[in-house]
Each structure stands twice: as C-alpha cells, then as structure tokens.
Structure 1
Amino acid sequence: MSADVVIPKNELSEFDLPRVCVITGQTEGISFKPVKFAWYPRWLLIFVPFAALIVLLIAIALTKRAKGTLPFSEEGWARWQRSKLLFGLSFLGTIAILVGGITVFAGRSDGTPILVAVLLAVLLPVVAYFAVMKGRVPLVKRIDERHITLSLPSESAATTITAHLSSGRRRSRGVQHPLERQSA
C-alpha cells in the first residue's frame, strides 16, 4: 500500500532526507540517486478525445518540474530503473502497433482491424502503468512552486520522511542561522 509524502522542492537532497529507501523502506545500503519529476493537471486528459493537439500544448505550458536526489537501496533503484524502462518500451510498442496496424489493414474496407489496433495501442501504456508503476515506484501526485507530493510504495519510508521533515521544521522555527543573527 502506498502513502503520500509532501517534500519541499529544495529539500530533495541527501542533506535533508533520511537514509530510508523510498521503495522498499530499507535503511541499510542506502545511496542517494538523481531523480526528475514532471506534473501537469490530470483534468486535461478529459479533453484529449476532442482536441489532442491543444491539450498537448496546454499540458506543456502547465507542466511543473522538480529534480533532486532520493534515497534508494540497490533493490529499490533496480526496480525504479526497470519500471522506467518498461513504461518507456510500452510507448514504443504503441507506435509499432499503430504503424503495423495501419500498414497491414489500410486497404481493407472493413475498419474493424484498424480500430482494434488503435485500441490495443492505447491500452498498452495504460496496462504497463498499472503493471509496473502504480504502487511500485515513487509517483508524483502534485508539484507546486514550493512542494512536491509523492506517492511512495513504502509506508514506513513515507512515515519516516514526514517525521524527519516535521522535526526539522519544529527545530528551525525558533532557531536563526548564524549569518542571519550577525546581520540583524
């Protein structure tokens, strides 16, 4: 079961996050690896059947990005890499099905085979998402100007990270940085 965690974008680093794998929850053999996330409002997908190109342009304009480092065990990092690869390959499969379907069935008067090919091409990335991504790797739920909300596969990692970030905020509210004290 996955759990959500809200992390300030400027704290996506090994200096601000605890050493707990975001996928497995392990605390041994942790290394911080570079990650990039992108998010756009999901309500845009409702309009894809009506104006796909316009939706694509709006999605590009509204996309928010975040990058940093996250803690992974070797097993967790391998799962992250494998999921990205398989999900990417599903899009190549989509292109292959579309090109193959159009090439093979273009001259037929019955449009059913092309319709089936298009349906399979659309379903392939959806099935890949649910098979290798959802609940198995960190997924971005939202990015705003200051925070990133991630859904982590490890509830223990989400709890540990949230507690770590919360304790740091409580400590730092009344504490001034030495340089700030000098300038005051």
Structure 2
Amino acid sequence: MALHLLELPLASLTRADLPPVCLITGATEGVEYRTVKFTWYPRWISLLAPALLLAAILAAIMTRRATAELPFTPQAYRRWRLGVWGFGLSAVLAVTLFITALVLLATERNAWAAAAFVSSVAIPVAAWFALVRDRQVVVKAIRDDALVLRIPSLEAARAISSHLAAHARGVLPEVASVLATDAAKSAPAPVGSTCASHPQVVANWICGRCGAFFCDACARFPTVGGPPLCARCFEVRAKEVVVSGALGLKRLQTAGFVVGLLALVPGCWPGLVGALIVNGLSLHRTLKVDGRPRQWMPVAGLVCCAVSVVVWVLLLVA
C-alpha cells in the first residue's frame, strides 16, 4: 500500500474545514479530530552539515511549522503514534548497539561486535516495516499556502480534496487575512435583490468592500466557512496584497546584498552574522515566489559570507 498526496490549504486546517474521513483507514464512522503539529525544513540543508553553523542558521530560518485538526479513528491514531514512538526508540537502540559494537571490537570480542553491528541495522529496519511503512501520516512540505501530507488512505485523500475543492477557494494566508477583514463586513442581501453581474439571478450577499449585490456564482470565499466578497473585489484586493509583498521582498533582497558586502570587511563579524540571517531569509522567501525574481542577490550575499568565513580562517591560521 503506497502513500497518497493530500494538499490542505493553511486556512483550512480545522475540524470545521475537513470532512470526517480517517486519514489512515478511510473510515467515516467513529472518527475523532486530533490536534497534530508538523515541522518541516528543506532536506538539502542536511547537505550543509559539515558547515554546522550555516546549516543551523538556515534550518532555524527555513523551518516551518503547522498545526492541524485532522480526522482519525481512535485505533488508527494510536497505531500511528505507536509507530512514531516505536521507530524513535529503535533508532536510539540502534545507536546504542553501534557504540557497543565499536567498544567490543576494540576489546577484540569480534563475534559479539558483529552481532551488535547486525542488530543496530536490523532493529530499525524491522521497526520500519512493522510499525511505520505505509501506515503513517508524513509531512512532505509546508508551503506558504498549503500543508502537503502523504497519507495511507486513497479514499480519504479523494474525499478531502473533493470537499475542499467544493467549499474553498485557496489563497495565500497573508492574502486571506486581508480579504477576510473586508469580507467580514459583507451581509445577506435584502429579499428580492438581484446580482449586479447577473441581473436575472437573485442576489444573496452585499459585498463588504464595494456594497454591490452578488449571487452565489460571484461569491469568493477568503476562508472556509467565512463570509464572501464579490468576485471583482476579491481579485483586486488579492493583487494589491501580492504587489505589496513583492515590494517587501525586493527591499529584503537589497538589504541582504548590502549586508553581505559589509561582511567582506575584515573583522566585521556582526556583519557576517547579520548577512547569514538576512540572506538566508531572503533566499527562503525568493524560492517561494514564482519565477524566483532577483534570486542572484541572496545567493551573492551568501557567497560573500562564505568568502568572509574563508578570510577569517586564514587570519586565524596565520
């Protein structure tokens, strides 16, 4: 049984947004909602492990967290948590056995050392197949707009995706918060009102931003379960927020590049630390934007940091 992708908008992570379908078994009866916390960071950061400080800074900057209320049956939830704890315990036991094997090897107790080595590999592998494989809810990515999971139940993935597609219109969280503020002023339209865009259709809403009457076909919902805006105001306000965010990104990229140049000054260690943080954040935000505009600026800033580190090492060696 393979795991299946499930993409949940960050604005739709509560029990009010998700149908009662167990993510692991696909069951629809006896389902309970459990609060689950997810943490994710880009896996390429692990390749920077030799540069421990840089890896730690980038991991701290780029780690994302999300909390969701997800549907499970009690048995499936217990089995999932058992798998998480069981595999973690097997990993600790594997490290202990590996260290024990090294000690036994040093004391020339080769037979026991070989047994410990084999056990250090076999135990986590057995735990993986017995408790984890194709039975877990795994976070694949946490983006600006969505939490991407891999779940065992194809039925649950299809049911939840269909439910969200029918009831929500996904937008970025920062855009949704602005639109939701405007939509909070929307109200039901008076009886007998007609839609401004479809005069032959009865209007159900008054737009909280422009005051126009609009029907269900023109309704755009910033958040699931919240009041809507008319289609025109929804699109206009969404573009305004995106443009404002792009301007802020350009300023961050420029600041990171300037601080990166400052880090090249010998002895300016505050500039080096600041450049690592600002350019790491700038690169993180740039990679999330379509087209990755002006990506060269945070990359150049980080290159300046690397050059500065080399200069520091040479000065210390000299």
- TM-score (normalizing by structure 2): 0.48
Change in CA separation of 1:97 and 1:55 when aligned onto 2, cut-off 3 Å:
farther
Q: Which runs of 5+ in 1 are unaligned?
A: 171-175
Helix, strand or coil at the partner of 1:38: strand
1:69 aligns with 2:79: no
Mapped partners of 1:52, 1:106: distance in 2: 30
Q: Is the 8 A contact 1:44 1:55 kept in 2?
A: no
Q: Is the 8 A contact 1:5 1:158 kept in 2?
A: yes
Mapped partners of 2:102, 2:55: distance in 1: 23
Mapped partners of 1:146, 1:104: distance in 2: 52
Greater than 6 Å deviation, 4+ residue runs = 112-116
Mapped partners of 2:152, 2:51: distance in 1: 32
**Matching residue of 2:42:** 41
Mapped partners of 1:177, 1:90: distance in 2: 51
Selected match of 1:179 from 165, 182, 185: 185
Q: Is the 8 A contact 1:98 1:121 kept in 2?
A: yes
Mapped partners of 1:58, 1:95: distance in 2: 26
Trace 1:115-134 onto structure 2 (pairs within 5 A).
121=120, 124-125=123-124, 128-134=127-133
Shift of 1:81: 1.4
Shift of 1:158: 0.2
Q: Which runs of 5+ in 2 are unaligned?
A: 170-181, 187-206, 211-318
**Matching residue of 1:90:** 90
Mapped partners of 1:113, 1:60: distance in 2: 39
Choose between structure 1 and 2: higher strand proportion: 1
Helix, strand or coil at the partner of 2:168: helix
**Matching residue of 1:29:** 30
- Report the AA paired with residue 32 of structure 1: Y
Residues 1-25 of structure 1 show CA distances to partners (whole Å, capped at 9, x for unaligned) of 3211110123221011000000000
- TM-score (normalizing by structure 1): 0.77
Helix, strand or coil at the partner of 2:136: coil
Shift of 1:100: 1.9
Q: Is the 8 A contact 2:45 2:59 kept in 1?
A: no
Shift of 1:58: 5.9
Helix, strand or coil at the partner of 1:11: coil
Residues 43-86 of structure 1 show CA distances to partners (whole Å, capped at 9, x for unaligned) of 445x37x7284686267333222112100012211211111111
Deviation larger for 2-11 or 114-123: 114-123
Mapped partners of 1:54, 1:115: distance in 2: 36
CA RMSD of aligned residues (A): 3.5
Q: What count of residue pairs does the alignment treat as equivalent?
A: 179
